[in-house]
Structure 1
Amino acid sequence: MSTTYVQPAREAPLADHRSLNALLFRKLMPLLVLAYVISFLDRTNIALAKSHIAVDLGISAAAYGLGAGLFFLSYALLEVPSNLIMHRVGARFWITRIMVTWGLLSAGMAFVSGETSFYVMRLLLGAAEAGLFPGVMLYLTYWFGRKERARATGYFLLGVCIANILSGPLGGALLQMDGVLGWRGWQWMFVLEGLPAVAFAFVVWKKLPDGPASATWLSPEEAREVERRLAAEQAEEASAGHVGHSFRGCLADRQIWLAIFVYFCHQISIYTVIFFLPGIIGTYGKLSPLQVGMLNSLPWIAAALGAATLPRLASNPRRCRRMLVAGLAVMSAGLLLAAYAGPVVAMVGFSLTASMFFVVQSVIFLFPSSRLAGVALAGGLALVNTCGLVGGFIGPSVMGVIEQATGSTRNGLIIIAGMLVLAALASMRLRQGQERGAA
């Protein structure tokens, strides 16, 4: 008789847990993913405009690489204060503010007239968007436990894949508006891709709750259950003595800096590919802007498949580490293939690399987030992303210099492949909060 009553008592909470998580994913992730799609369209659309602004404005390959990277310099410098502000004022207000300012500045790229204005606008755009990614990483900790966060992060990073899949055909089509009302095609592209961020900001303001307690689509019992689960997990980690609660403690944690190094190498690779792949494809033959855009979408389809399927397998610290090592090794191999092969095989190499971009990125943040809490969590996640995004500045800047000096991107791809090997070796030493043997 006892089994008749005990079995349902065990299964009901599990069913409730799954249905509650499904509700959270359904209500939150579409908003966050769409916001990230728009942000990536706006930060990376200069990749398609590269050859056009070179002709119209005289911007060289080195100047283009520097301008592409400057976005990440101001972005990185303002991430930690941005996340600390969001922790204080709430996600709804702060993410709305970010979207309005970056949308207006992205549209303002249409009025760039030379290298100086190009640099200034890229710096301002980075400052405006600063805090979006680490802010969302922090926001996910308000809703999801450790096991669900990797999956949520993977879904969020799908926004990058979707943006890059759409940006090629969309940007290619907009570039062909050259001459309409006296404007260049690249000017139309910046304006028509920038203003949707402003419009969507109002949707975020209406629909995005600051946390479980303010979510109108959760019952009071459900909101308390979400908060109870997260508090229990945090208490468990704190009782094990592995969670730091001060930002100063975060700075002294060698594991945080190890995660930063791995993320730094990862970001160098992803943003170099984002900003230079359309130009590399353009060297494969006489292709129209639309054809270049279509081919540029192929690696991002592979990236979307990886982000949608693999992060959910990171269910424990050992699997997380194995996925990091394997993912970084695959990225390195793909870039070497792209550096030495002909056009068709090179596209396979780029697709292989891209397939692991967001598998690696969604797993990396599980390591620092397992060791931090409270203000340290807000500042620590921003610190990891800030230092990592310095790679977003260095990668395109160095690649631009290499391309201008040698007329080819091959040497740059080889250097990045070597850095990814170093990152794979370093990731073997990463530990999550509850693991022993931390470096």
Structure 2
Amino acid sequence: MRKIAWRLLPFLIVCYFVSYLDRVNVGFAGPAMRAELGLSATAFGTAAGIFFLAYFVFEVPSNLALNRFGARRWIARIMITWGLLSGAQAFVTGETSFNIVRVLLGAAEAGFFPGVIFYLTLWFPTAYRGRIVGWFMFAIPFSSALGSPVSGYLLNMDGIWGLHGWQWMFIIEAIPAILLTFGVLWYLTDRPAEANWLTQAEKDWLETTLREEERQREAVVRYEWWQTLLNPRVIGYGLVYLGLVSPLYTLGFFQPQIIKALGEVSNVQLGFLNAFPYAVGAVTMVLWGIFSDRLRERKWTTIFAAACATAGLLIAASNDGLVLKLLGLALASYGIFAALPIFWSLPTAFLSGTAAAAGIAWINSVGNLGGYFGPQVFGIIKDASGGDYYGLLFMAALPVMSILLILILDRQPARRAASVAAE
């Protein structure tokens, strides 16, 4: 398992690092884009979040295509298209073109994250998934922690060759996705049976272990892929994910503006200040995943982290001083990022095969609608109230919804039986 982790995870982390940076760097470009294109907070939030409507529509078909054509070819297709469209954001001229490019970007990138989550279930037994998904999702806070200062420096390229700094940021940060396309085609292996870098004994052990876990899950309940789209438990977990994803993307798009409103800071200073909460989230995400695996417990470790996210958002809403605001945002970052990888151990404990591909994509689709509604609602509240207080209060309520849903869903007998079988 160590050999597989070292072979797959570093490369996948780099890919997701680039993916997430290209998805949320629009938030860092926000202050300059809004000023130069004449966008209100509502218009900016809508354009930033509309990405997720297309993402929602194409998520399940994309994951089913990945299951059919293989991860290597399909992930490469995703990366080349999202790289080109991410760079195209540099050339938008107003609200309409901004919305069009964001919709196309959402359609292009749909399937990458749930595809990789499904791909990891083909390589890692249940007992490893908390830490493995945690390491993979480490790319989210790490991309923001490292990408924020880099984006700050790129914004200072304003005027070079007649382009604004935010245009240079989009162009330069899109290049790695295009280059990594060729790395995916050359490096990834679709399934363990095809791994010439494993011994035959290692392949036999892994395939036997994974088949036995699948047999135990299906002995409790078996779903066809289309049944997962109507299954109340799957939809419920999608809403749990929505409660965690909404504040994640809202902060990703608006946190630089929240910090900048606290006082005059340069682009570079803003980059480092914005990086601090994500650095906290990056460290705690991995540690909390390891802790959850060692306890072999998913429900309460997810709930505790979600409660910390709510507490952090309440602290950030209630304070206008830079230090306390940043500490609140850091606590919220810990809660959100610690909850996310452990959460994915809950639905994958009872989904398998093609149903897992469709179910994971459907949960991710429903959850990522929060990436549309969260920033849009926050922008509307911000425009109406003239500040961030009520918007942050609204975001603080969403993890509470996730906690209540987990408590309800975990009471399902089939869920408990599947969890025991998977362990």
Task: Normalising by structure 2, report the TM-score.
Answer: 0.95
Distance 1:252 1:196 in 2: 38
Which one of the candidate residues 317, 322, 333 is aligned to 1:343?
322
Residue 318 of structure 1 and its aligned partner are, at CA, apart by 7.4
The alignment partner of 1:310 has SS state of helix
Residue matched to 1:71: 51
1:293-331: CA deviation from partner (whole Å, max 9, x where unpaired): 110000001111111101122238972111111111110
Which one of the candidate residues 425, 430, 434 is aligned to 2:409?
430
Residue 149 of structure 1 and its aligned partner are, at CA, apart by 1.2
1:267-316: CA deviation from partner (whole Å, max 9, x where unpaired): 11111111110000001111011111110000001111111101122238
Distance 1:275 1:413 in 2: 13
Residue 419 of structure 1 and its aligned partner are, at CA, apart by 2.2
Residue matched to 1:209: 189
Residue 219 of structure 1 and its aligned partner are, at CA, apart by 1.9
Amino acid at match of 1:257: I
**Distance change in 2, residues 1:317/1:388 (3 Å):** farther
Superposed counterparts of 1:84-99, under 5 Å: 84-99=64-79
The alignment partner of 1:144 has SS state of coil
Distance 2:156 2:372 in 1: 29
Contact 1:272 1:395 in 2 (8 A): yes
1:112-156: CA deviation from partner (whole Å, max 9, x where unpaired): 111111000111111111000000010001100111111110001
Structure 1 gaps of 5+ residues are 1-20
Residue matched to 1:15: none
Residue 425 of structure 1 and its aligned partner are, at CA, apart by 2.0
Distance 1:137 1:393 in 2: 22
Residues 1:237 and 2:232 aligned together: no
The alignment partner of 2:369 has SS state of helix
Which one of the candidate residues 277, 280, 288 is aligned to 1:310?
288
**Distance change in 2, residues 1:214/1:297 (3 Å):** same
Mean Cα deviation higher: 278-287 or 410-419: 410-419
Residues 1:109 and 2:89 aligned together: yes
Amino acid at match of 1:221: A
Query: Percent identity among equivalent residues?
Result: 38
1:9-46: CA deviation from partner (whole Å, max 9, x where unpaired): xxxxxxxxxxxx10011000011100000011111111
Residue matched to 2:244: 266
Residue 363 of structure 1 and its aligned partner are, at CA, apart by 1.5
Amino acid at match of 1:325: I
Residue matched to 1:193: 173
Specify the structure having the higher radius of gyration (Cα). Answer: 1
Residue matched to 1:418: 397
Residue 249 of structure 1 and its aligned partner are, at CA, apart by 3.3
Residues 1:322 and 2:322 aligned together: no
Which one of the candidate residues 243, 246, 250 is aligned to 2:224?
246
Contact 2:247 2:374 in 1 (8 A): yes
Amino acid at match of 1:171: S
Contact 1:237 1:434 in 2 (8 A): no
Residue 373 of structure 1 and its aligned partner are, at CA, apart by 1.7
Mean Cα deviation higher: 245-254 or 100-109: 245-254
Superposed counterparts of 1:378-389, under 5 Å: 378-389=357-368
Amino acid at match of 2:260: G
**Distance change in 2, residues 1:224/1:418 (3 Å):** same
Distance 1:253 1:73 in 2: 21
Residue matched to 1:286: 264
Which one of the candidate residues 376, 379, 395 is aligned to 2:355?
376
Which one of the candidate residues 333, 338, 350 is aligned to 2:311?
333
Residue 403 of structure 1 and its aligned partner are, at CA, apart by 1.2
Contact 1:265 1:419 in 2 (8 A): yes
